[in-house]
Structures are given as C-alpha cells and as structure tokens.
Structure 1
Amino acid sequence: MASGIPNKKEKLSFGIEMEFFLAWRAESFTGTVPAPPGSESKTGGPLVVRGNWARESDIVSALALMIDEAFPSSAATVAPSGGGVPDYGDQEWHHLYPFRRWDVSFDPTLKRLPKALRDKTGPDFGWVGAEVVSPALWATDEGFEEVRRMCEFLQTNFWIFTAPEAGFHVHVGKGNEWLSVNSLRRIAAFLYAADLILAQSHPEHRRDNIWCPSLRLYSNVSVGIKNPPIQAQPTPPDEPTEVRADEPTEVGADELTEVREQSAYAGFMKLAQNFFQSWVGRAEPPQENQVLTKHRFPPRPTVSTFNINRDSVERVLGYHGPTLEEIQDPRTYKPIPMMTAVAEILRSADRRSIARLMNIGQRRGAYSFLQLEREHKRTIEFRQAASTVDPVEVVTHARIAVGLCQFAASASHEDFFKIILDCETAGEHPSWYDVYDLLKEVGLYPEAKVVQAVLSGTMTDAMRREYWLSRGHEPRP
C-alpha cells in the first residue's frame, strides 16, 4: 500500500435542489391570502400569477420568469477553464446543458398539501410544490455566494413553507468531467462507513425516509452483493496489462491504470487491522458512566437506533433474487459487517460497479451513485437534508457535501482509515464519536457549529454573522 501521501485534489463542482411549498395568488384576487404558519415576522408574500393558473406548472412558470430576470448568469457556473461558452453539442458538455442557469419546476412529489396548508387555499390563491435547481457551480466562494443570493431572494420576496415531505439535495461532481474512479471508490467507501454518523446532522424525519434510505442498512453491498472477480492475465513485460473479469465490465483505456490501482486495496482488511494496531495509543472509548470532554458541542446529537424496515429489506432482497450467494430471511436480516462492505467498495473496478454496490435495488439512497451509470449526470447526490431555503443552512449543507467528497478523495491513507475506524468504533460505542467530531476532523468546524445550532434550536443572528465571516462571505446588515 502507498504511504500516507495525499492524492492531488480534484477541482470539484456542485449544484443544489431546493424543494418547498410556495404561496401564490391570482393577479385579479383582491382579498386577503391567509399567512402560512410561522410567517408572521417574515417579509415577502404570495407569488402574483398573471394569466392562467389552471395547472401547477403554470403557477411555477411565473416564479421561473422572476428568477430568470433576477439571476441572468453566474460567474461561478461551470465553463471551460480557458474562458468562453461551453459547446453543449459536444459530448463532454451536453450533460450540463440543463444545468447552465437557475431552473424552476413543479415538484410532483409535493402534489398533496400538508395539513397546515389545506385550509389556506382557494380558487384564486393557494400553495404549490416547487423545486428550484441551481446551475452547475464551481465549489468556490463565488459558487457558494451565488447560492446564498438565491436563498435571500426567495426569503425576501415570497412566502415559503418547508414541510417534512420536502427535501434539500446537493450534487457534487468535477465540472464537465467524470470524477476519477479512485476518487469515486474512496468517496463511496467513506460515505458508506459514515452513513449512520452523518445521519445525526439531520432531523429525525429524514433518517428513516423512503426518499433517502440508509446505505448501511439497505444498499446492495449491505445485503451481500459483491463485485465480479478481476483477474490480470499474464503478458510479456513490454506489453500493456489487460484486466479481465468473469462478467463483462466496461473499462476505458483511460481507466486502465486506475483499475490496476484497485490492487492497492485488495488487502484492505489486513491493512485496516495493522493500522488499528498502530493506533492503539488513542484514547479508548469511554465507559457509559464517564463524562465526555473531548468535544465542544454540548449537547451531543440524539443517538437513535435505526430500526430495520422489513418492507424495504424484502424489496431489495426480492430484486436481487438468486444473484445472492445466501438469501437472508427478512425477519432476521442484518447488514454485512461494515468493514467487509467498505473493502468490497474499495476493490470496485469501475464507476458502474461502484453504483451497483451503493444503490438500493435500482433506487437511490441517502447518498446516491445511481447517476454514475448514466450520461446525463456525472455527480454524487446527497439526499438526506431537510427542506430549507435558509441561506446559512443551505450553504452549510452544500459545503459539507463538497468537503466530505474532497476529504475522502484527497486525504492521506492514515487520515482516511482513521475516520473509517472511528465510525466502526461508534457502532459499539455511540457516545464515543458523533457527527460533530467527524465534521471537525475533515475541516468543517464552522459547518459543525451551524448544524449543532440548527438541531438544538439555538441559532442566532450573531452565529449567522460568525459563520459568514468564517467562510469569507460579507455578513448582511
């Protein structure tokens, strides 16, 4: 195995998807629109719709027009490094054509209004489920500032209701390019190991949710799906080595070197054990009756037990059927050991293999790699955050998604495996290691403070100002 030298950092990009309910009224309506819950002290009002409002898409189109006028372009939008306009007819750019500017659409998953809004609708006013999608943005201060400006625009001008039915998603990629296979392996393994820890940064209703189920509990690798064995065929010394598999895998010439690198992780379990032995000098997990003093975030997040949903297990086991070496009984199902799953992910030969292990049947989980099997997106999707248009919360979750990917892809082997082993330890000792510890270790201390304040309901204007300053943003008056 290589030493602890970090990999070269990849230039990352990101995009966000904000789901929420939007208040609207017809231009001809002269009455009073009932205010949404919690909006008494906020600015803004219903979206004014001119012309037709017979369909939800007609209403949302009115918001799209306003956003087009207010956000014509962004300096942080992904574009060629040499400047100029991307050629979206080119294969390397066509997948970004839908993500070149802010977009708004009706969200069919929010067609049913939550109970709090059902008595606040009429023939000429009401609420509609909307999704606002950002362009593909470089993960720079300018990119995060663009997102902040959009959130402030929405908060200032409209009544918005963020119900538990809605979510907030972040996509992380590498501009118009694919993330390297080695980076994808490490990111996938890292997110799998940290899944139950990272879930602590979200409210309870986002943890056992059909739209973002746990990878550790239900993913294909968790139920026992494995990579096909890869065998290198002997060749003369002067000829390039070919990599073959028992089952066909699509590996391009540019990926051949990276596939060979999978052998560096072939002895992962032994490597992890050796690393653990060299790591015994660390503080031992405390007994339950000991007081914890190693972190600055009292109180710790609520540590809840993840109850396995038998219907979800039956679906994923039924999908795989006879392809599993051993089919478990859904009534007694347990995921395979975490370290075994991590080792399997790290030996994946290509992006399709990674996606196959990380999917839940053919569905997406809390961290989705499903789009890696398709050409229209080249991103990893973070799906577990709750619906919000709060600028601090949105930028925080976007920076967390980017920061976790950047750490996993570029950290030294020692730092990478240390956190994976901490996540393993936390399975037996939940009080030993939490999401605040993890975020601090990967360089996301300001974001950890925001997460703690949001979850504990202690966010203040002073904390918002402190966060913007910590990340180089100008605080607003």
Structure 2
Amino acid sequence: MSAKIPSSSELRPSRLTFGVEMEFVVPWLYKSKDGPLATSKDIIYDRIKDLFERHNLPTKVKTYKYKSNFDKRLLSRYDHWGVENDITVFEPSDEPAFEWVDDFEWVGVEIQSPVEPDVPVAFDVLDYGRQLLASTYRCRVNHSCGLHVHVGNGSERFPLESMRRIASLVFATEHLLITLNHPWRTANLNARTLRDRSNLAHKLAGNEMSSGPNHKCKHAHTDCVRYYATDVRHGEQPISWREQHRDPKFVDAFEQVRKSGFEPFQPVVDETTPSSPVSKASSVSGTQSSESTPGSEEDAKSEEGTQSSESSPGNKEEEKEEKSEEETQSSTSSLSSKSSKGEGSGEESPKEGSQSKKTLNGSQKQKQVDDPFKHSNKPFPTRSIPRIKLPRYTTEQLIEFHDKLEEFGADGLLFEGENAHRSPDPGVFAAVEEIYQAPSSCAIAHLMFPWGASRVNFQHYACDSFDRADLGRTIEFRGAEGSLGPWVVTWAKICVGLVRFAVRSPPSEFVRVLENCQRAEERDGAYDCIDLLNDLGLFAEAVVAARRIAENKDDWGLEYVEEEPKPKSEPEPEEKAEA
C-alpha cells in the first residue's frame, strides 16, 4: 500500500515529501523457553517484513514511474517500508520499569516508512502501518526510542531562499515545540537544542564554533558555495540540473555569469534607452545606484512641476495610468456616496448604510477565512486549554533530566563549564539576521549544527553532502520521543506543515509568526505552541496537541497562564422617568 497520486496537468508548486522513522523494542524468548513468544532474535525482522507484505505494505523494492533516471536513482531506495535493527534502541535491564520486563528478552527495531507526497492518503497509510505494528506485537517504547520525521522536496534540494526561511522558522519555534514532547528530550544526547548549542548561538555570543566549511581553501569544498548550494534565480534551472552537470566547465561558466552581475529577465538599459516604468519601479523598490540612469533628469523636472515638451513614451504612459486611477477612485467614491443616500433624497439612510457596511464586513471576513495564511487576532474556536507558560529549564533541571536518561544510553551532554559548548539564547531576530546573511545552504547547515545530533538536522545540506548527487536531501526532525500511537501521524503533519508554511507563506505572514515567537519569550501567555499551530494552518493538529498537553501537563511539569479577571463594568444609572 502506498500513496501513489496521479500527476495533474495543472501548474502548481511541487508537493513536499516526507518519511517517518519509528523506533521501539519488541520482546522475544529463546527457543528453549516456553511461551507464545518463543522464537529467535534474528527472525523478528523477517516476521515484521512478512506482516507488512501480507497487508500490502511492500518491504521489497518495487518499480514506480519516475520523471527521470535522476529521480529514480535518488528515490527508489525509499519506495518501500524498511525494517532494521537499531543498536541504540534497547530495554534497560539493570532497573526495569516493570517487573514483567525481566521475563523477556528485548530487541530494538526501527521502521522506516517510504517517501510519500504531502497528501492525506499518505498519512492514512502511515497510520495504518503503526496500528498494524501495535495490534500485532507487544511493542514498547521508552526514552531510548525516537520518532524522526524527514521532510524533503522530492528529488530536488531546497533552494537557498527556502533554506533561509526553514532555518529561521525552526530556530524561532524551537522553544514552543518543546512543550509538545517529553521534557527529558531537551537533555537527550541525540536531540541537542539549537537555541543554546548551535554554531549560530556560539557565533552571536562570540564563542568558539565547531569546524565548518573552509570555502577559501583550494583543497576544501568550494563548488558548493559557488555552484551547488548558492541561490536559484528566476528563470534558472533547479539545483538538480547543477548536480547532473558537474564538469568544471559548467561550474566555471556559472561562476563567471554570477560575477558579471547578470540577472535573468532584467532589461538591458543603455544611454539611448529612454526611462521606463520598469526602471523607475526598480529604483522605488530599494535598488539604488550611484550612477545616474537615463531619463533621471526628466523625471526630476516632472516631479518639480516643470513640464517638458519632449517627454518620454514611458512617462506619458505613467501619466495616463495615474489619471485613469484617479478617475476610477473618484467614480468609486461617488458611487459609494450615492449608494449610502436615500433614493430621491439628499439625506443618508442609516438603515441601508449600516446594512451595506455589514455586508462589506461579512465579505471581508469570508475572504479572510478563505485565505489559509490569514488569521484574525481573536482566539481560535479550536482552543480548549489556557495558554501555556514557556518552560525555562534551569541548569539544575537539565542535569536532572540528563541523569535520568543515563540508563537509556541517551546521556553524554554537559551543561556546565567550557566543554558544555553552550551559549546564551540570541533571540529570534538576531538569529534570523545571521541566517539571511549566509551565502549558501551549506553555510546555513553549519550555523544550525550543534556539535552533534540535533533536534532538527540540516546535515544533508552540509558541504560534503553535495559531493554526491545520490545522497539524502531532507531536513530531519528529531525532537519527538518514541511513539506508536496516533501522535506519530500528528507529529509528522506538524513537521511537514512547518516546512510548508516556511516555503509557501506570504512574507508578511511569515514575519508575523516570527514576531509572535519573539513575543512568547518576552511575556508568558502572549503566545504558545497552540497559537503557533493555528498560525501554521494546522487546526486539527492544534486540537490534538491541546489534548496531549492537558493529559501530560502534570507529568511534564507544564503550567497554564492564569487569566487576569476581567474588570466588572459598573451598571449605568437608570434615568429618572420624566414627570
């Protein structure tokens, strides 16, 4: 069973793709022992594969239709369900959580779902797979298990502009998304936090960073920053084209074009070319030049009110457009004033005017609802719990979490001293500014590297990942603890939805979410993870997340923000009846 979606002839952005890794442990017994689990450790994986095959979840490589051989080479390894051993996943035997745990042997299993497009049926298939496992085997999850979600762009790499947005949103939302998972995960060796351990935090604090790309050395990686990992301008081929054309002649030619200042679809202006609306608009948009452009003198004269008989065609067209806009506005205002007055009377009809205003407001509200990225400032009707206080774990609390992870093999982090490699949280916009100054995707991957496994892993965009075209190109979310419940699907939707919002949302809405994330740090109750999910357009996931928080609030040490009592309005004095 797989979510194979027929291609559409309609032009639309390519769908994001995703895959999930579920980690858990399964009990077994030696053949010499009696019991329903009597088996061999080595054949457990084969039995799970047979289970998936019997229920139409293929575990063997199958041939799908791909757009090109390049797509097939990249994605064919991920078109089936993988069942593997994971030595980092185990059940502790020294201090078992329950007495019956010692009655069995345990083996760690990792299930990898195939790469699927971001469509509802793909999440249904994932839900079917996790239910199949939970209902067939006595699976168990503990703190050695993780739930990893890979989000990608099919066989394409995310371009530099998308990487800037994704990294900015991931960094900005980390402290909010932490509240959706067990707090011990913040001290887990395999899920380092970015706000205090990434090279980005170290750089802004003036501390030492981990070794990263040396793009100035001849023997180091240089093709990534000048070719593979740089931006994709409008009209250029995607990064996959560059990966398929690795000959030095293509790299050198590309670099020469960039150094020449060439930009696709920009008009070539010489001294004989009169000023045009395009050149004038470009100057207004902020691209200022110290050199005077042809026609600038005529523009200055026209602004001062001196009319010239030898005006350029572009200026005449602008004047006509401005006049037509003024006429349209005046006619619109006259129509609106007429509609607000009674017929055949110079007096305004309050009833009709208010009714027209109500209709206009209704249409505006409907338009706002139809826009998936536009939300009002009012609380969403899906919210069922008060806002959550932002957890601010002290060093002592993090050390306590860390010590409890020792028996699960997830310890190893330091929280004090120089070797802890921790820096102060730089905040949202200081980090975003630094990310947007990065010249390439590999530079962003280095900034987001926390000296080891991260809550969100960008290492598929590191310099050495561009050396081979058949390597992975996803962003891996590792912040969730292991699960085989419905949270598997919900968390996958949240990770995909966050990336989708980052690369598709309008700039104004993207910046608004960043501002809200900053507000959450400044004042408790201003903004929390439920607000974030609603802003990302993940309304159903927000309902599930609120229920999850309510169920685990006490165990996770979360606190609600106490709402301030609304001031009681004084009753208006009754007017005395006239005698």
After TM superposition, the score normalised by the length of structure 2 is 0.56
Residue 303 of structure 1 corresponds to 390
Match of 2:532 among 438, 443, 446: 438
Match of 1:343 among 430, 433, 441: 433
In structure 2, the CA distance between the partners of 1:134 and 1:371, relative to structure 1 (3 Å rule), is same
Give the whole-Å Cα distance in 1 for the aligned partners of 2:418 and 2:551: 39
| 1:241-280 matched pairs, under 5 angstroms | 248=222, 250=224, 251-252=226-227, 255-258=230-233
| 1:407-446 matched pairs, under 5 angstroms | 407-446=501-540
- Give the deviation of 1:119 after TM superposition: 4.8
- Give the deviation of 1:379 after TM superposition: 0.5
| 1:67-106 matched pairs, under 5 angstroms | 67-73=52-58, 84=65, 90-106=69-85
Residue 133 of structure 1 corresponds to 112
Match of 2:458 among 369, 374, 379: 369
Aligned-residue CA RMSD (Å): 3.6
Question: 1:323-377 CA distances to partner (integer Å, 9 max, x unpaired)?
Answer: xxxxxx979x42334311111112322221111111112x221111012222521
Contact 1:167 1:386 in 2 (8 A): yes
Contact 2:389 2:524 in 1 (8 A): no
Identity %: 25
State yes or no: 1:454 paired with 2:435: no
Q: Mean Cα displacement is larger for which, 188-197 or 156-165?
A: 156-165
Q: Which has the higher strand share?
A: 1
In structure 2, the CA distance between the partners of 1:337 and 1:59, relative to structure 1 (3 Å rule), is same
- Give the deviation of 1:382 after TM superposition: 0.8
Residue 241 of structure 1 corresponds to none
State yes or no: 1:11 paired with 2:46: no
Match of 2:48 among 53, 56, 63: 63
Q: How many residues matched?
A: 367
Q: Which entry has the higher C-alpha Rg, 1 or 2?
A: 2
Give the whole-Å Cα distance in 2 for the aligned partners of 1:249 and 1:425: 40
State yes or no: 1:386 paired with 2:365: no
In structure 2, the CA distance between the partners of 1:208 and 1:313, relative to structure 1 (3 Å rule), is closer
Residue 148 of structure 1 corresponds to 127
In structure 2, the CA distance between the partners of 1:444 and 1:256, relative to structure 1 (3 Å rule), is closer
Match of 1:201 among 155, 172, 180: 180
Instruction: Return 5+ residue gaps in structure 2 as ranges.
Output: 1-11, 206-214, 234-257, 264-285, 287-375, 400-411, 554-579
- Give the deviation of 1:388 after TM superposition: 0.9
In structure 2, the CA distance between the partners of 1:403 and 1:283, relative to structure 1 (3 Å rule), is closer
Contact 2:389 2:525 in 1 (8 A): no
Contact 1:369 1:380 in 2 (8 A): yes
Give the whole-Å Cα distance in 2 for the aligned partners of 1:457 and 1:312: 29
Contact 1:368 1:381 in 2 (8 A): yes
Match of 2:497 among 393, 403, 419: 403
Question: 1:173-208 CA distances to partner (integer Å, 9 max, x unpaired)?
Answer: 011221222111101111101110111111222223
In structure 2, the CA distance between the partners of 1:431 and 1:295, relative to structure 1 (3 Å rule), is farther
State yes or no: 1:110 paired with 2:199: no
Residue 288 of structure 1 corresponds to none
State yes or no: 1:360 paired with 2:450: yes
Task: Name the SS for the 1:376 alignment partner.
Answer: coil
Contact 1:169 1:385 in 2 (8 A): yes
Question: 1:388-416 CA distances to partner (integer Å, 9 max, x unpaired)?
Answer: 111x2111111111110000111111100
Give the whole-Å Cα distance in 2 for the aligned partners of 1:443 and 1:398: 14
In structure 2, the CA distance between the partners of 1:254 and 1:221, relative to structure 1 (3 Å rule), is closer
Paired residue type of 1:69: R
State yes or no: 1:120 paired with 2:101: yes
In structure 2, the CA distance between the partners of 1:344 and 1:435, relative to structure 1 (3 Å rule), is same
Paired residue type of 1:252: Y
Residue 22 of structure 1 corresponds to 26
Give the whole-Å Cα distance in 1 for the aligned partners of 2:187 and 2:387: 20
Question: 1:77-96 CA distances to partner (integer Å, 9 max, x unpaired)?
Answer: 999xxx72687xx5544343
Question: 1:140-170 CA distances to partner (integer Å, 9 max, x unpaired)?
Answer: 1121111011011012111111212211111
Give the whole-Å Cα distance in 2 for the aligned partners of 1:444 and 1:399: 8
- Give the deviation of 1:302 after TM superposition: 5.3
Task: Name the SS for the 2:134 alignment partner.
Answer: helix
Give the whole-Å Cα distance in 1 for the aligned partners of 2:56 and 2:439: 41
Task: Name the SS for the 1:414 alignment partner.
Answer: helix
- Give the deviation of 1:59 after TM superposition: 3.2
Q: Which has the higher helix share?
A: 2
After TM superposition, the score normalised by the length of structure 1 is 0.68
> Could you list the runs of 4 or more consecutive aligned residues of structure 1 that deviate by over 6 angstroms after TM superposition?
292-295, 313-318
Paired residue type of 1:140: V
Task: Name the SS for the 2:23 alignment partner.
Answer: strand
Instruction: Return 5+ residue gaps in structure 1 as ranges.
Output: 1-7, 34-45, 227-244, 262-266, 268-281, 285-291, 319-328, 460-477
